[in-house]
Amino acid sequence: MSTRTFGEPIKRNEDRRLLTGQALFIDDVELPGMLHAAFLRSQVAHARIRKIDVSQALRRPGVVAAYVADDLGDYWKPGPLLVPPPPIAGIVFNQRTQVPLAKGKVRHVGEPLVIVIAESRYIAEDALDDIDIELEQLPAVVDLEQGLKAGSALVHEDLGSNVSAHVRQTKGNYATAAAKADHIIKRRFRYEHGISSPIETRGVVAQWDGRANQMTIWDTTQAPVFIRNGLAGMLGLSERQVRVIAPFVGGGFGPKIMMFYPEEVLLPWVSMKLNRPIKWIEDRLEHFFATTHERGQIHDAEMALTRDGRILGVKDVFLHDGGAYDPYGLTVPINSQCTLLGPYVVPNYDSTFTQVFTNLTLVTPYRGAGRQHGVFVMERLLDFAAHELNIDRAEIRRRNLIPADAFPYKNEIIFQDFQPLEYDSGNYEPVLDMALEAIGYKAFREDQAAARRHGRHLGIGVACYVEGTGIGPYEGAKVQVQSNGKVSIATGIGTQGQGHFTVFAQIAADQLGVAVTDVDVVTGDTDQFYWGAGTFASRGAVVAGNAVNEASKVVRKKALKLASDLFECAEEDLVLEDGKVSIVGIPEKFVSLGDLAGRANPMRGAVQPGTEPGLESTQYFGPPMGATANGVHAMIVEMDPRTFDLKILRYVVVHDCGTVINPMILAGQIHGGVAQGIGNAFYEKLVFDDQGQLLNASLADYLLPTALEVPRVELGHTVTKSPLNPMGIKGAGEAGAIPVGPLFAQAIEDALDLERRGVELLEIPLSPSRLFELTRNAPR
Amino acid sequence: MDIDDHEITVSVNGVRYQRRVESRVLLSDFLRHDLGLAGTHVGCEHGVCGACTILLDGQPVRSCLMFAVQAEKHEISTVEGVAGKDGEYHPLQQAMHDHHGLQCGYCTPGILMTMTAFLEENRSPSEEEVREALSGNLCRCTGYQNIVDAVMAAAKRMRG
C-alpha cells in the first residue's frame, strides 16, 4: 500500500537545491551582453523638480543610457489600480497611483527620478553622482492629523486635500447600544507596522529578444501572471509574447506583490529600446524606501459593555497612513476594519476610516496586512474593560466568543475580497482553553508572586484573533504524468519559501499513488502555467492546493480508465499505487503510470472522438469567499523594571486552520509569523523626522529580531474544517504575526504592574526606551 | 576614473582561480558574478544580515565587507563546497533538511557557513551557545527555532 502523505510532516522537495547553493534567485540570472540599471532617487520627501541634467553621466565610460520621465513619451503613465474600492455605500476613493519616474514633483524619499544603464552595476552607481539635479523642497506631509488640517501641504495638489479614501461600515446601531450600556471604554490607540524586510531584496531582469519578438522577465514578484498581463499591455505586446518567471524568491511577506513597481515597468521598456538584457537588484538602502511599507494608524475607539462584560458594540474612527500613492486601494484599512471584530459577538459596530496621503513610501499589505491594527484595538479594549469591570482578562474573552453553533457567522460588513464578512466555520472556546492550559494560566499568579518575592517581574498575556484567509478569485494547476512516471505540477502562483514544492506534491502523490519526491512542482513561470492571481492573503495552499487536488483527481480517473481498457477489466478492480496500476489481487499484472502516459499519446492508429492526449489535467478552483482561521497566543515574559530588557519565557500558539496538509511546514509558518510579530511589537520601528526622512534605514538601526530575541514557540492545533473547499483547509501564512502586539502590551503591563501604576500601553511598537518614557513619572 | 585592476589568485572550495579584478570589487560580487558561485547570497551589503558569510581560511567572514583583492592567496569556502563530492549532505545540511530549518532558503548559505565553522569549534554546544553563534545571521522566515534544533542535532551526530 502506498503511504498516505497528506497530513504528514513530509520533508521538503525544494531543500536540496537551497542547501547546496544551486537554487536560482533573481541575482543569479546571468545573460550574455547584460547591462545593469541604477536609479537616482529623491533624497527629499516632497519637492518640485526644477532641473535634471544627465549629460555628464552619459559621458562616463561604460554608461549606455540614462532616462528621465520625459524620455518615456507615451509609456509614462501612472500605474494601474490593483484593487478597486469594494462596493460599500458612500465610499470616497481618490485614485492616485505611482509613476515610473517622477515628473514635476517628487512625493516621497526614494521615488526614482532617473534610470541609468551601464555595463556594470558599479559604473551605473558611479554615474548617479554625475547627474545634475535641482529640487525645490516643499513642506512634507508626515503626520496624519496635521495632513488633514486646512492649510496642510498637499501630496496631490489637484485633490485639494490629502484624503485618499473615506469609508464607513456599520452593523446594527452602535449609538442605541451605547445608550443602554452599563460601561463604555474609550481610548486612543496608535499602531505602527514596519517593513517586511525579506533577506533578499527586490530585483528585475528583463530580456527582449528582437529576433523572437519575445520578452522574458525574471521578477521577484509574488504575482507573475498579473505582471505578465500588465506589462504586455503597457509594452504593446500580446500576453503570449511575454514570459514572466518568479524564480526562487528570498521571502516576500506581501510587499513583493505590489504592482507595478517603477523598476518593473522600466526595465522591460529599456531592454526593448536597447535590445539588450538588463538587470536591476535593489540594495538594502533602496529597499528601505523603494519597497512598500506598512505603517501607522490612529484609532479613536470605544466599546460599550454590560456590567458582566458582554460586548454591546464597538465604535472606531481611524486614520490610516497610505503613503504617497494608493495603488492597492483599501485592502489594508479594510482588513483592519473587518479583523477588529475578531472571534467575538459584536452586535453593533460603527467603523469609519480615512486613508491619508503622506509624503512617505507607499503602504501596501505586509503579513497581516492591517489585521494587526484591528486586533490590537479590540484586544486592548477588552483588557481595559476587564480591568474596569473587575473581570479576568481571559474570562472576558471567553464570555464574548462566538458560540460553536453560530456558524456560518455573518458580520454584515464587506471584507477585502468584496464579499460580506462571514466566518465559514470555527469552534473558538476549545482553542482558548488549550492555550490557557498550555501556558499554565491558573497557576501563573502564584508563580508570578513567588518570582516577585525574588525581585523578578513576570507578566502574562493572552490574545485572540481570527484571520480571513484563502480568498479568491481563483488559482489553477496542471498535473501531468511524464513518460518516466514522474508527475509534474505547474501552477501560476509564485513561491517565497512556503513549501509549495512539497505540499502540492503531497496532494498529487496521494491521488496518484506516487512518492512525494517523484512529483516535480513548477511555480511562478507564466509559460508553464498561464492563469492565476498570486501568492497573498494566506491563500496559496487553500486555492492553488485545491486546484492541484482537483486536477490530480481527474488524472487519477484517466489513468484508471486507460488501464481498465488495457486490461479489459472494470476500474473498480484496479489499484493505483507505487507508480503503477495493477489488478486487485494480481500484483504482477500491472502497467506503470509512465507507460500509461505513453499510451495516452498514441503515435499511430485512430483514437476515439473527443480524446484528449496525455495523462494530464488542468483544473481551476475558486472559493465562494475566504475561509476564516482563528487562534489564541499566550505568552509569559520577564522584564527588568530598570532597563526594560525583555525575555520571553514561554510562548504558546493554539491555532485552527482547518485540515493540515503538512504539520511541519505549518509549524514553520507559525514560527516565522511570530518572529515577525515580535519584531513589530518590540524591536522594529521606522523612525521619520518631520520632513519625511527615514532616520534608521539600515539593518544596523532597524532591528530585525535575531535568534536571541525569538523564543521557542509551543504549538497546539484544533481542526475545524472549512466547508468552502473539498479539502477543508484554511490559510495559515499570517496567523503567527497578527496578535503579537496586544500580547506584548498585556504581558508588559502585567510584569511592570502598570494597571496599579496608572500607565496604559496604547501603542505598538514598544521598546525599552519607549517604556522608560511612558513610566518615568508613574509611581513605583 | 582610473581603472585599478589587479591580478589575484584565490582558492575557493579547493579550486584555484586566477582573475583580473578591479580593486573596488566586493568579494561577494567576485564570487557570485566573476566565478559564478552564486550560492553565496547578498542581503544587506553592510555586514549585518550574514547571508554572504563565507569561510576565509576556515573563519567565517562577511564577503560583502571585503574586497576581492584582499582574498589574494587565501583559502575560501562557500556553500557550494559544504556537501561531499558525491553530493552527500554535511551533517548540518542533513539536519537543516530534517528539522525544516529553511523556508525561502536565502539566508541558508550564510547560516551553513557560520554554523559549520561553529560546530568545528564546539561539538557540544548548549542551546544558548547556538543561539548566540547564530545571532549574527538574520532569517526572516523561520523564527530560528528549527535552525537551532538542526544545529543541536548536527552537533550530536558529529560527536558520533
Cβ of A199 within 8 Å of Cβ of B51? The answer is: yes
- CB atoms B104 and A30 under 8 Å: no
Quote the ipTM score: 0.98
- A140, three cell numbers: 512634507
Mutate to test the interface with A, among B3, B40, B44 (most CBs of A within 10 A): B44
Residues A474 and A542: beta-carbon distance below 8 Å:
no
Helices then strands, counting H and E runs in chain B, come out as 5, 5
Give the cell for residue A57: 553621466
Q: Is the dihedral of CA A572, A577, A583, A584 positive or negative?
A: negative
Chain B residues 87-146 with a CB less than 8 Å from chain A: 87, 89, 93, 96-98, 100, 102-109, 112, 130-132, 134-146
Q: How far, in Å, CA of A304 to CA of A184, rounded?
A: 5
Fold of A297-471+624-775: Aldehyde Oxidoreductase; domain 4 (3.30.365)
pLDDT at site A679? 98
Per residue in B100-118, pLDDT tens? 999 999 999 999 999 999 9
> A161: burial class by Cβ within 10 Å (0-12, 13-18, 19+)?
middle
DSSP state for residue A724 in the 8-state scheme: T
pLDDT of amino acid A457: 98
pLDDT at A156: 98
- Shortest distance between the Cα of A252 and any Cα of chain B, in A, equals 9
- Sheet of A458-469: strand order equals A458-469, A627-639, A646-656, A714-717
By three-state DSSP, how is residue A170 classified?
strand
Rounded-to-integer distance, Cα A217 and Cα A236, Å? 15
Rounded to the nearest angstrom, the minimum Cα separation between B46 and chain A is: 8
> What pLDDT, on a 0 to 100 scale, did the predictor assign at position A182?
98
Nearest by CB to residue B44, choosing from A284, A497, A712, is A284
Task: Give the mutation candidate from A8, A10, A16, A18 for the B interface (greatest B CB count, under 10 A).
Answer: A18
Residues recorded for chain B: 160
Q: With contacts defined as CB-CB under 8 Å, which chain B residues touch A671?
A: 142-146
CB contact under 8 A, A250 and B102: no
H helix runs in A69-173, sequence order: 121-128, 144-148
List of residues 6+ apart from A241 with CB closer than 8 A: A213, A214, A215, A232
B44 interfaces chain A, CB cutoff of 8 Å? yes
Fold of B5-81: Ubiquitin-like (UB roll) (3.10.20)
- Please list every residue in chain A whose beta carbon sits closer than 8 Å to the beta carbon of residue B4: none
Give φ, ψ of A250 to 5 degrees. Answer: -85, 60
**Cross-chain Cβ contact A672/B136 below 8 Å:** no
Residue A247: which residues within 8 A CB-CB, separation 6 or more? A23, A24, A25, A26, A28, A29, A218, A524
Contact B141 A21 (CB under 8 A): no
CA atoms within 13 A on the CB side of B88: 4
* Chain B interface, best mutation among A10, A15, A285, by max B CB count within 10 A: A15
Averaged over successive runs of 10 residues, the pLDDT of chain A (780 residues) comes to 81 97 98 98 98 98 98 97 92 97 98 98 98 98 98 97 97 97 98 96 98 97 94 97 97 92 98 98 97 97 98 98 97 96 98 98 96 98 98 98 97 87 96 98 97 97 94 92 96 90 95 96 94 82 92 96 94 94 93 94 80 92 93 98 97 96 95 98 97 97 98 97 94 92 98 96 97 93
Which pLDDT value is given to residue A200?
A: 98
* Interchain contact, B41 vs A30, CB within 8 Å: no
**Exposure of A563 in the CB half-sphere (CA atoms within 13 A):** 30
Rg, Å, chain A Cα set: 28
Mean of per-residue pLDDT scores for chain A: 95
Fold of A197-290: Aldehyde Oxidoreductase; domain 4 (3.30.365)
Supply the pLDDT for residue A129.
98
Rg (CA), chain B: 16
Domain positions in chain A: 197-290, 297-471+624-775, 472-621
Q: Does this chain's domain A197-290 share its CATH topology with A297-471+624-775?
A: yes
Question: Is B135:B111 a contact under the CB 8 Å cutoff?
Answer: no
Query: What number of other Cβ atoms are within 10 A of residue A445's Cβ?
Result: 11
Contact B144 A667 (CB under 8 A): no
Write the DSSP symbol of residue A569: S
d(CA A416, CA A525): 27
Q: Which residue has the cell 490612529?
A: A298
Residue A603 pLDDT = 79
Give the angle subtended at the CA of A269 by the CAs of A266 and A272, to the nearest 5°: 150
Average the pLDDT over B12-32 and give the result: 97
Question: What is the pairing mode between strands A242-245 and A214-219?
Answer: parallel
pLDDT given for residue B2 in this prediction: 62
Question: Which pTM was predicted?
Answer: 0.96
Contact present, A33 and B126 (Cβ < 8 Å): no
| DSSP state letter for A81 | P
Residue in B28, B54, B145 to test binding to A, most A beta-carbons within 10 Å: B145
Q: Across the interface, do A708 and B132 touch by the CB < 8 Å criterion?
A: yes
What spatial distance separates the first Cα and last Cα of chain A, rounded to whole Å? 68
How near does any CA of chain B get to the CA of A713, in Å?
8
Give the pLDDT of residue A533. Answer: 85
- pLDDT, residue A1, reads 39
How many residue pairs bridge chain A and chain B with CB atoms within 8 Å of each other?
Answer: 174
CATH topology of domain B91-159: DNA polymerase; domain 1 (1.10.150)
Q: Where are the domains of chain B?
A: 5-81, 91-159
A42 neighbors A108 (Cβ within 8 angstroms): yes
- State the fold for domain A472-621: Aldehyde Oxidoreductase; domain 4 (3.30.365)
- DSSP code of residue B5: E
What is residue B148's three-state secondary structure? helix
Measured distance between the N- and C-terminal CA atoms of chain B, rounded to whole angstroms: 56
